[in-house]
Amino acid sequence: MKTFIYTATDVQGNTVKNQKMNAEDVNDFLEKIHEKGLFCSSYREAKANDKKSLHKFGTKELAYDCRQMSAMLTSGLTLVKALDIMQREQIKDGPKQIYREIYEEVQKGTSFSDAIKMQDGAFPNFFISMVQAGETSGNLDMVMQKMESQYANDAKLNNKIKSSMMYPIILAVLCIAIVIIMFTFIMPTFKDLLTEEDMKGLTGALFSLSDGFKKYWWVLILAVAAIVFVVKYSLKIPDVRYKFDQLIIKMKPVGPLVVKIYTARFGSTLASLYSSGIPMVESLAKSSNILNNLYISKKFETVIDEVKQGETLSVSIQRTGIFESMFTSIIYVGEESGALDSILAKSAAFYQEEADEAVSRLVSLIEPVMIIFMGTCIGLVIAGILPAIYNSMGNIT
């Protein structure tokens, strides 16, 4: 499937520019343009950079869309009619175009899941798998309802993280601003009051740092930019990313709190996939990949191989050493009772609350660090300048 970017004019003479359309080839693209009643003036095949700009649905959008689709399908509307309503009610151009293309493909007889796959990553793999399972089982409305709950919980957790991180971010910006103001504007005003005898030890070091900051501030900016670039590039290297993700899991006290968040997402995703009829092996692969942690993904490759060979899921997951023993015990009970999907769904709600608490505790760990950093900077300046000023005043007297 290729993506074409085109400029066209409709029968009323209105011109649309830089629109995107998925098609098998040029002939298929021109046929679709003709069916829309458009006169194409120019077109080109989208490159990799163009495809990256395609709208990608966030958790909040997906939760809302799943709620709408579930309500319409449950009330008896056909899938085609529901998609027609969805593409009409979209406000932004990106989602509107995506739903319009899905609607047109489904009208032609393409399955809903295949139409979604044609959208070049606009929808996550979890969404596609669930839709595919819903089509196979004939319970697409129920699957949409499950996904609405899943994405609503994910959006709630993301909002919790963002709102909780707001105060530490403001505090960090304030710390940096105070340090810059002290070393750039405040400290130089005291320099003329001090003698060479005063400019020793801590006082001299602070004023040297202030002078260096004023002269070579651009070097500091370049150094920070270089560090950010190196870290960002390094995390794209699989071995480095693996070690980094492993460090996040193992590092205390942050690691156990992050694991609680991962447990909530993994449990709820696995419950949704498995209860929708997706095979356990595929459910495990998708549930582990949704955590976006390479260390966990690699560990679950072994889990999947062991499950294929007949090993119980609880024992295989326990061997990874990632999740808490309580979570593996829950899985064991679910396997023994034959109600793994329902037990996972119930435990996911419990771990969702645990994840909320973990986020709050993570933030509570960051705040003291920021306050200590800011207090240390101010304390050093006071300890370095005030004694020298008093000494200088005493010499004048």
Give the homologous superfamily in CATH for domain 158-397.
Type II secretion system (T2SS), domain F (1.20.81.30)
Same fold, 59-152 and 158-397: yes
110: left (phi over 0), alpha (psi -120 to 50) or beta: beta
Strands 2-9 and 39-45: antiparallel
User: Looking at residue 230, what is its pLDDT?
Assistant: 92
- What does each of the 397 residues of the chain score in pLDDT, given as a tens digit? 677 777 888 777 777 766 777 777 778 878 877 777 777 877 777 665 555 446 888 888 999 999 999 999 998 889 999 999 998 888 888 888 888 888 888 888 888 988 888 887 788 888 888 888 888 888 888 889 888 888 888 888 788 778 877 877 887 788 788 878 877 887 777 777 666 666 777 777 877 888 888 788 888 889 989 999 998 898 889 899 999 999 988 888 778 888 888 888 888 888 888 888 888 888 888 888 888 888 988 888 899 999 888 888 889 988 888 888 888 888 898 888 888 878 887 787 787 787 778 777 777 777 787 788 778 877 877 777 777 777 766 655 4
Q: CATH code for 59-152? A: 1.20.81.30
For residue 310, what is the DSSP state? T
Cα gap 68→370, rounded to integer Å: 43
User: Looking at residue 226, what is its pLDDT?
Assistant: 94
User: Looking at residue 53, what is its pLDDT?
Assistant: 45
Residues 6+ apart with CB under 8 A from 350: none
Six-digit token string for 150: 């899943």
Beta carbons of 195 and 388 less than 8 angstroms apart: no
Amino acid identity of residue 380, one-letter, is L
Strands 15-23 and 2-9: antiparallel
Q: Which of 292, 278, 343 lies closest to 314, judged by CA?
A: 343
CB neighbour burial string for 283-322, b if at least 16 within 10 angstroms, e if fewer: bbbbbbbbbebbbbbebbeebbebbeeeeebbebbbebeb
Give SS3 for 334.
Answer: helix
Cα gap 357→34, rounded to integer Å: 55
Prediction pTM value:
0.70
Burial of 164 (0-12, 13-18, 19+ CB in 10 A): middle
What residue segments make up the domains of the chain, in order of their start? 2-52, 59-152, 158-397
